[in-house]
Amino acid sequence: MDIAALSMAMSQSSVAQQASLQVMSMSKDMAEQQGQQLTEMLKSVPAPHPYLGGNLDISV
């Protein structure tokens, strides 16, 4: 394999690796954003029955 072909192959490999890292970074950022949105959504939802479960009636 001559030097020019080796250089081209290494360059293509580098570009593919950079693209892969960029896609991984974008998916990580998207997952973080979705996690924050889910947390905000769960905080804004009130409990369905906040008065239930406060008392326990036991008879023996």
Q: Could you list the residue range(s) of the whole structural domain that residue 29 is in?
A: 13-37
- If one counts the domains in the chain, the total is 1
pLDDT score of 1: 63
Rounded Cα–Cα distance for residues 5 and 8 (Å)? 5
Q: Is residue 18 part of a domain?
A: yes
CA distances from 31 to 17, 19, 25 (A): 21, 18, 10
Predicted confidence (pLDDT) per residue in 4-39, tens digit? 888 888 988 999 999 999 999 999 999 999 999 999
Cα angle 23-26-29, degrees, rounded to a multiple of 5: 150
Q: Is residue 53 part of a domain?
A: no
- Has residue 52 got a pLDDT over 80? no
Where do the H-state alpha helices sit in the chain? 3-44
Q: Is residue 59 part of a domain?
A: no
Q: Is residue 32 part of a domain?
A: yes
Q: Is residue 22 part of a domain?
A: yes
This prediction's pTM: 0.60
